[in-house]
Amino acid sequence: MSAQKGGWVSSLVFLLFCASSIPKCGSASLQQEPSPQHYFSGLEAGKTSLAFFTPSVSPGAQPFLEQIESSAEVLKDYGISVVKVNCPKEDVSRYCGKENALRKAFLFRGNRLIREFPTDALFDVNSIVANILFALLFNEVKYVETLADLENIENVLKGKSNMVFAYVPATGTAEHRAVMEAAFVYGTIHQFVLTTEAALLKATSHDDPDVSSAWLLFCHCQQVTEPAQPCRRTALAQPLTLLSIHRHLKLMGAPLVTEVAEDPEKISTVHLQLGLPLVFILSQKETYEADRRTAEFVAWQLLGKAGVALLSRDLVELNVLHRSNVALKTPEEGMPIQYLVLEDTDEVITLVEDKNKVKQIQEDEQEEEEDEDEKENNNQDIQDDQVVEAVSRDKKRELPLEQILVLTEENFHSSLSEAARTVVLFYASWEAVSLAVLRSYSEVAAHLKGTLGVLLSRVNCWDWPGLCSQENVTQFPTIKIYKEGQQSVTYDGMWGTEELSSFILLSQVPCPLKLTTMDEAEGYLRGEIPSELSSHHHTSLLGVFSTDTSKAREAFEEAGNILSGHVRMGMYFEDDALALSRKYSVSPPALLLARSGGRSVEGIALSKHSVQDMVQMIRYELLDIFPEITVSNLPQYLQLGKPFLILFSAGNISQMERKEMLKLAKGRPQQAFVACWLNLKKTPVGHGILRTYFSTTPPLPVLLWVNLHAGGQVFKFPSEQSITEMNILSWLEKLQAGLEIPSSTLSEEDWKPPLPAYDFLQMMEPSVPELSPQPGKTPDPPKIPGGDTARGGGDTASREEPSQESTAEEFGSPGRDLRGTAPRLAARDKQGKRHSEL
Amino acid sequence: LGLALYAGGLCTVSGATFLYHDYCVIGAGPAGLQAAYFLQQAGRDYIVFERSHAPGSFFALYPRHRKLISINKQYTGKSNSEFNLRHDWNSLLSHDRRLLFRHYSRDFFPNADTMVRYLEDFASLLKLRVQYNTAIIHVTLEKNEQAWNGHYFLLTDQDRKNYKCSSLLVAAGTWVPNVVNFPGSEYVEGYETVSINPDDFVGQTILILGRGNSAFETAENILGVTNFIHMVSRSRVRLSWATHYVGDLRAINNGLLDTYQLKSLDGLLEGDLEDLAIVKDKMGKLHITLRFYLENRNISAGIDSITLPQDELDNFATRAPYDRVIRCLGWKFDFSIYNRSLRMMPGKGNIKKYPQIKPSYESRGTQGLFVLGTASHSVDFRKSAGGFIHGFRYTTRAVHRLLENRHHGVPWPSTVYPITQLTNSIIKRVNEASGLYQMFSVLADIILLRENATAFEYLEEYPIGVLAELERQTGRKAGSGLFVIIMEYGKNFSGADKDVFYYNRAVGEAQHAWQSNFLHPVIYYYKRLPTEHEMRLRPPDWPLPRPDAIHHIVEDFLTDWTAPNAHILPLRRFLENCLSTDLRNFFAESCFLFAFTHQKLPPSCQQGYMRMQGLLGSQELLHHAVQAGLLQDYSHTDFSGDRPSESHDGSQEQLMRDHGIPVHPLQHLVNAKDE
């Protein structure tokens, strides 16, 4: 069987060679001789030649000739000429006369015949080169058949020279040729020993060897001093090729440990040149002997895989940790030397072998990329979403939710009518933001405990999706406040405890609240009315309308609806409205604004009467002139789309600073910028901002101009100047004139995916070949109805049923099959239409 | 009102009087009633024709032994009504919560009479317009350019009454019994009429032709009283728990497999019924022989002259004579009532019991004719659940939505969300959606991205076979890329001969999710809509062509895909990388920092915080975020500024660098499926 296979392979090789050698036929390296006489007369002593004799017409030997011709070039390199000798018809000499001789090739040194080869031993270039060199290197390459022969040779060599022992599964193979070619070069230095005996292979290698592949051992017999001592052996780990053997012998020839006394960066050894790493054992005078032993031990372990050098630290100035004891230099250009602190020689070996392993994979399958990817991406499965991670770390804590009513599809509508205001949090129990809000919501519940007329409740949309979609909740979380189970307001503010509590409280009172007496109006402005809100400080807004300004009044009421929950709005339109507005020196329709904390009341004339304008104006008026920026109010000021002039302060700002900044904010056209300040105590994240702008926190307070919307430059007000309106104004002028250099610029970076995803498409491709990137390249496999012809094909009906055919085949399983017991009977009767509905 | 409508619909064509309706539905079985419900909800002009006096006439007779094999799971431990439909295979879709099958039966496998009662209630409670006792015996076309589809459908009933419709929905089911003809087939009793009283089989030897659920159901009923039962069919037995196809042999019916394998005389054989012949001997016993022998003999001669297989092969398997042979070969669609012009053709191969339809459920031969219900199963035969109530209630809804768009300009319902809701919207659907789950690999949720990927539009349960036609079929635009969300079993997991219990069959780790075997969500990403050409060239066994990226959510033992790290995180990374953006959530404090340090903001800050809907977070949560290294705590910073300049290059990097210790999942629990 294997012979047959071998024959097949060789004929294939032969075919390939035919194909490749046709144009080369009659190449220059093949000598032609007109006759045997001519040939023998021309033979020089000491020159080797391979001759074959052909009659002028030789039909049979043609394939052999082509192989010979193509190996002529190779043999020429070894000083062997290949000669084709033409036999004249009448010649009946030794070489031409006998039919037998024409089927052979003859190897001559001078005119002495060394060997004759039957042409079937020379089936391809490998076999020709291997066999001819084998014949020529009879002394250099010993052929052994038994273990005893091998041991004899080994014993003889001990103390004298090294041995190269090769096992090849058969002579005439590519491996055999590689060994012979190596022997041609190294045969005078090392003793070569060859075998084809599988038993010998088994005796010389440790584990169960694969007898079908070649194997080469370098036996270090030269250093052996005691006859009883065995020769150390180093096996060649790669497949046998001339190159790998050459490389191996070169490495075996290199000194075991190189002593180095110069900068390791500059060192180059055989190992590095051959692409192997070099391990330095760092030594000191005191430990030299021990280090040397260590180095030798490691060197033996790494023989053929890496070089080992002993580096004396006393001789070389090394700028590395004193503790470092090992260094690794890799053959890659420009890779820095790694200095390591290792405790065990095994670690050195692992270090090298792992490197090699990675390299091997890279060479073999280029899987290394993936490997590295995996290493790089092993963060992929680590949560990097702060909200999700925070919530999942908090999931074991039991939330105080007893104040919050759980609503279901069953009790939802009945519960809504129980209280004047029902707050409903719609959330999903698996969703992180929802759960974060649920935590704040539970705090709101604690805040509002005891507040009359407000019921806090929640609906888990994961349990009641129908209810949520019915209430028009499409995203989580959503908070709605239902008034008497009727209309609802959707909360659109910050998801924070205070903001939400305040919204719920403000939503309790009508917006705007209708005030009926002057006293009420005054009380409202003082924050005393309505009493529910008296303990909370909000800016109070009072619309004052005379009876004839109904249009403005309607717009104001509508604006109140929109701003409900966010603003405390009152409305006064009694007969004496004029008197009230006069008190604040405006005429109706007008707004009276009593800011929280401040006692003064501002009067603003209402000039625009559209709802949208009114909402916008109210929102704008509620903004501070010189606000303290916090996490929750920043978006309101950012919406103005202006640059920020912001004073970062370690705590509260001084009266002086406030006064100057207020002057600046009030005195200038306000449209130009937002003057504000930030209390780092209250908003510690401000430190993060400062650190981003300046690598360290600058001396505080610090005044900055931040172009948040255009260009992103950050300018720092000179710290040596005092913060006064005048100084700032002149600085701003310089800024505008482009005379100042920005301290920092905001990052323009896009928000890209923080980490790559699993590339399943790429992972699937090897196992799903039909998933090729170009669908055009893999057209549907032609559908050949299986076995159709055998079953009386040509029947269009059956041809149209490929799937049926294939299922039918699938069912041809062993078992108690009618067809199985009477197969021939049934098969004969397979024509015609088939029943298909089973 | 009904009368007025009917009167308005009267019209006269070529002398005959036609009652006109926009939609005619043939059959008031589950699919016909389901279609009627959606038409009614949409306020369409429709009528359902039913040949019997009540809905669900098929169920009045079948299954003969009255046990439905569609599960009626009353308890799932969840109140989510959509999720619970995943395990309710009998209910039709409606807004009326009374019409859930669990209110009708407490049996896990309910009685067929309950189904009939349920369908009656469904039709009457919802006031569906069903015309009973009307058997449509002929359907033909009338060309008319004004008609929706260039023709009207003309229907004739048994009383020669005529009806005319613009669109015809065929929900007639498959009710014509499959028969097989071979010499001696006259001795065979049909499943339709065979006795269901076990007493009639006492001490008999039975041969059953067929290997479907009806065959096994018949066997199950008489297993205890017969001598033995043999079962013959051409195909090997296909167990539904191995093929993951509910139409294959269900475990509830497979008692005979047990007795066969335990050598209790019953047995299964494979053989082509076409090869069979049955001869009756003088004792009335039925002998199995091969058609081959008969063809060479004089048939008129007596039994003695006919060769039996055992004459040549004396261990021939079915040499024992039988007392009865029962045919249980299933049903096929009634093609006979359709005029040739409608070109209602049978499918090819193993789907020839069904009419040929497109993946949009429209007939291949006639525009405007849609096939619903069991008869539409050719789309997913032996794959998904389109032939069964729990599947076709969704495909019927899909057809209705296609029709709404085509004839009434009502685009496919969709919801628009900001991009920050992308992960959530997918997680919500894959965890509760029943249509995706039942009609796996057939119906898909589609996410159409808006320009710049700041928002997206979510379409539910679209038939993926017509993905290429999405814009035309739904009236929605798919210009900026799309995600397709479907559920799939592992590619090589299902099959009649597959071992579905092998060790390590379940994947536990998200990074190997593509090798998941059990039903799990798969998300395909396309930068543009695949063309019809690409759809045709898709890899075999693939529901869709090669996407630009694909994501599998790892299979889950509880089919609960809400785990933050194993399910949601990899999904988010996939979506982020498709859209090239950062979809993380941030606390308001982080957004605040970004607002002052970056010119651009991540979507969650942009669409939340900047619109004054930032997540301020409770103290505990912020503390946890700091602990996890995902948020920096600046409150304890002293002002000397001694921290090295590490963090000045942006907090983004900071967030990346400061990862906490990973919480490694408990591997053995993750893989607990095998234990």
Interface of B with A in 335-354 (CB under 8 A): 348-350, 352-353
SS3 A655: helix
Q: Which residues of B touch A688 (CB under 8 A)?
A: 593, 597, 632, 634, 647, 651
Q: What is the pLDDT of residues A521-576, one digit of tens each?
A: 888 887 777 777 766 667 888 888 877 777 888 888 888 888 888 888 888 887 77
Q: Report the pLDDT value the prediction gives residue B655, as an integer from 0 to 100.
A: 45
Contact: A758, B574; criterion CB under 8 Å? yes
Are B516 and A758 in contact, with CB atoms under 8 Å apart?
Answer: no
SS3 A834: coil
- pLDDT band at residue A57 under the 50/70/90 scheme: low
Residue of B nearest to A385 (CA): B584
Q: Which helix (H) or strand (E) holds A647?
A: strand A644-649
Contact: B576, A753; criterion CB under 8 Å? yes
Q: What is the mean pLDDT of residues A386-408?
A: 90
Q: What is the pLDDT of residues A99-116, one digit of tens each?
A: 666 677 888 887 788 888
What percentage of chain A exceeds 90 in pLDDT?
Answer: 10
DSSP string computed for A813-830:
-SSSBHHHHSHHHHHHT-
Q: What is the pLDDT of residues A62-82, one digit of tens each?
A: 666 777 777 888 888 888 888
Say if B539 is an interface residue toward chain A (CB within 8 Å): yes
SS3 A525: helix
Which residues does residue A482 pair with via DSSP β-bridges, in sequence order?
A422, A488
What ipTM was estimated for this complex?
0.88
pLDDT of B649 > 70? The answer is no
- Domain map (residue ranges) of chain B: 19-175+332-402, 185-329, 414-560
Nearest Cα to Cα of residue A170 among A233, A217, A114, A124: A124
Q: What is the mean pLDDT of residues B366-395?
A: 95
B5 to chain A, closest Cα gap in Å: 32
SS3 A232: strand
Q: Report the pLDDT value the prediction gives residue A427, as an integer from 0 to 100.
A: 94
CATH assignment of B19-175+332-402, among 3.30.910.20, 3.50.50.60, 3.20.20.140, 2.60.40.10:
3.50.50.60
Q: Where is mean pLDDT largest: A74-83, A125-134, A504-513, B77-86? A: B77-86
Name every residue whose Cβ is closer than 8 Å to that of residue B377 and which is 6 or more positions away in sequence: B351, B354, B386, B387, B392
Name every residue whose Cβ is closer than 8 Å to that of residue A541 and which is 6 or more positions away in sequence: A512, A567, A568, A569, A570, A591, A592, A593, A594, A618, A621, A622
Q: Report the pLDDT value the prediction gives residue B460, as an integer from 0 to 100.
A: 96
Alpha carbon distance B488, B475 (integer Å)? 27
- Identical fold between B19-175+332-402 and B185-329: yes
Q: Report the pLDDT value the prediction gives residue A836, as an integer from 0 to 100.
A: 29
A718 to chain B, closest Cα gap in Å: 18
SS3 A47: coil
Q: Report the pLDDT value the prediction gives residue B653, as an integer from 0 to 100.
A: 43
Worst-scoring range by mean pLDDT, A225-229, B248-252, B405-409? Answer: A225-229
Q: What is the mean pLDDT of residues A338-366?
A: 65
Backbone angles phi, psi at B176, to 5 degrees: -85, 115
- pLDDT band at residue B38 under the 50/70/90 scheme: very high
A717 to chain B, closest Cα gap in Å: 17
Helix axes A497-508, A432-447, angle to 10 degrees: 60
Residue of A nearest to B271 (CA): A818
Alpha carbon distance A684, A221 (integer Å)? 76
Q: Which helix (H) or strand (E) holds B221?
A: helix B213-222
Worst-scoring range by mean pLDDT, A567-571, B34-38, B168-172, B583-587? Answer: A567-571
Interface of B with A in 296-335 (CB under 8 A): 309, 312-313, 315-318, 329-330, 332
Find out whether the peptide bond into B63 is cis, omega within 30 degrees of 0: yes
pLDDT of A46 > 80? The answer is no
Name every residue whose Cβ is closer than 8 Å to that of residue A149 and which is 6 or more positions away in sequence: A142
Are A459 and A426 in contact, with CB atoms under 8 Å apart?
Answer: yes
- pLDDT band at residue B298 under the 50/70/90 scheme: low
Q: Report the pLDDT value the prediction gives residue B650, as an integer from 0 to 100.
A: 41
Say if B568 is an interface residue toward chain A (CB within 8 Å): yes
Q: How many Cα neighbours within 13 Å face the side chain of B549? A: 19
Q: What is the mean pLDDT of residues A29-44?
A: 74
SS3 A491: coil
Say if B232 is an interface residue toward chain A (CB within 8 Å): yes
Alpha carbon distance B655, B662 (integer Å)? 14
Q: Which helix (H) or strand (E) holds A328?
A: strand A326-329
Name every residue whose Cβ is closer than 8 Å to that of residue A396 and which is 6 or more positions away in sequence: none
Say if B627 is an interface residue toward chain A (CB within 8 Å): yes
Contact: B643, A691; criterion CB under 8 Å? yes
What percentage of chain B exceeds 70 in pLDDT?
Answer: 90
List the single residue in A392, A712, A818 with the smallest CB-CB distance to B271: A818
Q: Report the pLDDT value the prediction gives residue A800, as an integer from 0 to 100.
A: 39
Worst-scoring range by mean pLDDT, A44-48, A477-481, A692-696, B549-553? Answer: A44-48
Q: What is the mean pLDDT of residues A804-821?
A: 36
Q: Which residues of A touch B295 (CB under 8 A)?
A: 829
pLDDT of B330 > 60? The answer is yes
List the single residue in B309, B632, B639 with the smallest CB-CB distance to A697: B639
pLDDT of B652 > 80? The answer is no
Alpha carbon distance B166, B46 (integer Å)? 10
- pLDDT band at residue B25 under the 50/70/90 scheme: very high
Q: Report the pLDDT value the prediction gives residue A357, as an integer from 0 to 100.
A: 52
pLDDT of A60 > 60? The answer is no
Residue B414, number of CB atoms within 10 A of its CB: 17
Contact: A694, B637; criterion CB under 8 Å? no
Interface of B with A in 198-227 (CB under 8 A): 210-212
In this structure, the strands spanning A590-594 and A601-605 are: antiparallel
Q: What is the pLDDT of residues A405-454, one digit of tens each?
A: 999 999 998 888 888 889 999 999 999 999 999 999 999 999 888 888 88
pLDDT of A392 > 50? The answer is yes
Q: How many Cα neighbours within 13 Å face the side chain of A787? A: 13
Sign, CA torsion A8/A14/A20/A22 = negative
Q: B426 is written with which tokens?
A: 């997918």
Residue B413, number of CB atoms within 10 A of its CB: 14
List the single residue in A392, A650, A838 with the smallest CB-CB distance to B234: A838
Contact: A838, B427; criterion CB under 8 Å? no
Alpha carbon distance A72, A403 (integer Å)? 99
Find out whether the peptide bond into A699 is cis, omega within 30 degrees of 0: no
Residue of A nearest to B177 (CA): A837
- pLDDT band at residue B395 under the 50/70/90 scheme: very high
Contact: A749, B491; criterion CB under 8 Å? no
Between residues A742 and B85, which one has the greater pLDDT? B85
Sign, CA torsion B243/B249/B255/B256 = negative
Residue of B nearest to A443 (CA): B618
Residue of B nearest to A763 (CA): B514
Say if A586 is an interface residue toward chain B (CB within 8 Å): no
Residue A823, number of CB atoms within 10 A of its CB: 11
Say if A782 is an interface residue toward chain B (CB within 8 Å): no
Q: Report the pLDDT value the prediction gives residue B177, as an integer from 0 to 100.
A: 94
Worst-scoring range by mean pLDDT, A10-14, A84-88, B202-206, B508-512? Answer: A10-14
Q: Which residues of B touch A803 (CB under 8 A)?
A: 349-350
CB burial readout A215-230, b (16+ within 10 A) else e: bbbbbbbeebeeeeee
Are B618 and B624 in contact, with CB atoms under 8 Å apart?
Answer: no
List the single residue in B417, B593, B625 with the smallest CB-CB distance to A474: B417
Between residues A374 and A737, which one has the greater pLDDT? A737
C-alpha triplet A798, A800, A802: angle, nearest 5°: 85
Q: What is the pLDDT of residues A605-616, one digit of tens each?
A: 877 778 888 888
CB burial readout A290-299, b (16+ within 10 A) else e: ebeebbebbb
SS3 A314: coil
Contact: B271, A750; criterion CB under 8 Å? no
List the single residue in A432, A748, A804 with the smallest CB-CB distance to B564: A432
Q: Report the pLDDT value the prediction gives residue B657, as an integer from 0 to 100.
A: 40
Contact: B349, A381; criterion CB under 8 Å? no
Between residues A294 and B524, which one has the greater pLDDT? B524
Q: What is the mean pLDDT of residues A257-280?
A: 82
Q: What is the pLDDT of residues B181-193, one digit of tens each?
A: 888 889 999 999 9
Say if A814 is an interface residue toward chain B (CB within 8 Å): no
Contact: A687, B80; criterion CB under 8 Å? no
Say if B13 is an interface residue toward chain A (CB within 8 Å): no
Say if A566 is an interface residue toward chain B (CB within 8 Å): no
- pLDDT band at residue B13 under the 50/70/90 scheme: very low
Q: What is the mean pLDDT of residues A211-232?
A: 82
Contact: A696, B645; criterion CB under 8 Å? yes
Are A621 and A591 in contact, with CB atoms under 8 Å apart?
Answer: yes
Contact: B551, A760; criterion CB under 8 Å? yes
Interface of A with B in 651-710 (CB under 8 A): 680, 683-689, 691-698, 700, 706, 708
List the single residue in B273, B496, B612 with the smallest CB-CB distance to A635: B612
Are B521 and B556 in contact, with CB atoms under 8 Å apart?
Answer: no
Contact: B621, A779; criterion CB under 8 Å? no
B185-329 is classed CATH 3.50.50.60: yes
Residue of A nearest to B627 (CA): A390
Contact: A387, B627; criterion CB under 8 Å? no
Q: A819 is written with which tokens?
A: 């067809």
pLDDT of B242 > 80? The answer is yes
Mutate to test the interface with B, among A376, A380, A384 (most CBs of B within 10 A): A384
Distances (CA, A) of A638 to A437, A614, B572, B663: 24, 20, 29, 38
Q: Which residues of A touch B641 (CB under 8 A)?
A: 691, 696-698
Interface of B with A in 409-468 (CB under 8 A): 415, 417-418, 421, 424, 427-428, 431-432
Q: What is residue B275's DSSP assignment?
A: G
Nearest Cα to Cα of residue A257 among A243, A273, A271, A242: A271
Alpha carbon distance A795, A797 (integer Å)? 5
Between residues B388 and A106, which one has the greater pLDDT? B388
Nearest Cα to Cα of residue B250 among B60, B392, B89: B89
pTM score above 0.80: no
Q: Report the pLDDT value the prediction gives residue A134, as an integer from 0 to 100.
A: 85
Worst-scoring range by mean pLDDT, A357-361, A766-770, B162-166, B213-217? Answer: A357-361
Worst-scoring range by mean pLDDT, A67-71, A454-458, B626-630? Answer: A67-71
pLDDT of A479 > 90? The answer is yes
List the single residue in A692, A757, A807 with the smallest CB-CB distance to B570: A757
List the single residue in B546, B615, B625 with the smallest CB-CB distance to A771: B546
